[in-house]
Structure 1
Amino acid sequence: MDYQAELKSYLDEQGRVKEWPSKRNKGKFQKLVLEYLASKFESGVTYTEKEVNTLLNQYHTFGDPALLRRELFENGLIDRKRDGSAYWRNTQN
């Protein structure tokens, strides 16, 4: 998918998400942003919470990796151990 074209108003020149989209359009742009960010995770790799935050911080500029991590998890794009000690890309979506 060409996220750059779909998300052009939400991405800066470096491909970083500038703002969290509002819920209008039934959250379409929120879903696209989350899919874009999920695509940055390698399949089969397990990440610590700190590594997830570092990766997310590379791809957004509004300083809220916790929001993005939570949304990725709640939307089934990443999974995690119950205690939050390990995260990985959910390849079933």
Structure 2
Amino acid sequence: MTRTAVPLRVDDLSPFAKTLRQALTRHEGVPTHVELLNLIAKAAGFANYQHLRADAGTAGRLAAAAEPAPPADLTQVEKAARYFDAEGVLISWPARLNLQTLSQWVFWSRIPPEAVFSEREISELIRHWHDFSDHALIRRAMVDAKMLERTVDGREYRRIERAPPPELKPLLAHLAARAAA
């Protein structure tokens, strides 16, 4: 099992060391691993170790969100767009996996977030977005690609919220411009 690193940043080491020393002298015996983690976190100004971990997780997510997105591969966008007609309907299933996945992202973007669908309802949505009569293939591919989740019995489906690839936005814009023309 991999561990997530929990960074600890201390603005001034001297007050941190004094607070930690006082806590250790008040503690009876040698602190356990968890107790020591809590003492260190408290000396750094956190309520406990869980508070430190939560703060580190938030900082990591904020740092990741601040990173610029990689540029979109417009060649892939052009290639994927060839598989859609003027109304944005997928006319054939691409042979290449990366184009299949990008096509699935188009479908993903059309599924309302947080809505729950039965198998029949999600299949009906997908059926309207393609023209080659294999909605089950697309539905299963989207589940395998972690774009849709389904219950164990397959009765309920919902869109999984995650960051789409940078190519999705230009592809959707391309399809919308083609439909408007």
What is the CA–CA distance in structure 2 between the aligned matches of 1:31 and 1:56, rounded to whole Å?
15
Report the CA distance between 1:5 and its aligned residue: 5.0
Q: Which runs of 5+ in 1 are unaligned?
A: none
Give the one of 98, 117, 130 matched to 1:47.
Answer: 117
Give, as a single letter, the amino acid of the residue that structure 2 aligns with 1:42.
P
Q: Does 1:15 align with 2:88?
A: yes
1:32 aligns to what? 102
User: What secondary structure sits across from 1:72 in the alignment?
Assistant: helix
Bigger helix fraction: 2
CA deviation map 1:31-76 (0-9, x unaligned)? 1001111111111100000111110011000000000000000000
TM-score, normalised relative to structure 2:
0.46
Cα RMSD, aligned residues only? 2.0
Q: Does 1:60 align with 2:133?
A: no
Give, as a single letter, the amino acid of the residue that structure 1 aligns with 2:90.
V
User: What secondary structure sits across from 1:88 in the alignment?
Assistant: strand
Structure of higher RCO (CA pairs closer than 8 Å, 6+ residues apart): 1
Alignment length (residue pairs): 90
What is the CA–CA distance in structure 1 between the aligned matches of 2:98 and 2:113, rounded to whole Å?
24
Give, as a single letter, the amino acid of the residue that structure 1 aligns with 2:160.
N
Matched-pair identity in %: 26
1:77 aligns to what? 147
What is the CA–CA distance in structure 2 between the aligned matches of 1:37 and 1:67, rounded to whole Å?
13
Larger gyration radius, structure 1 or structure 2: 2
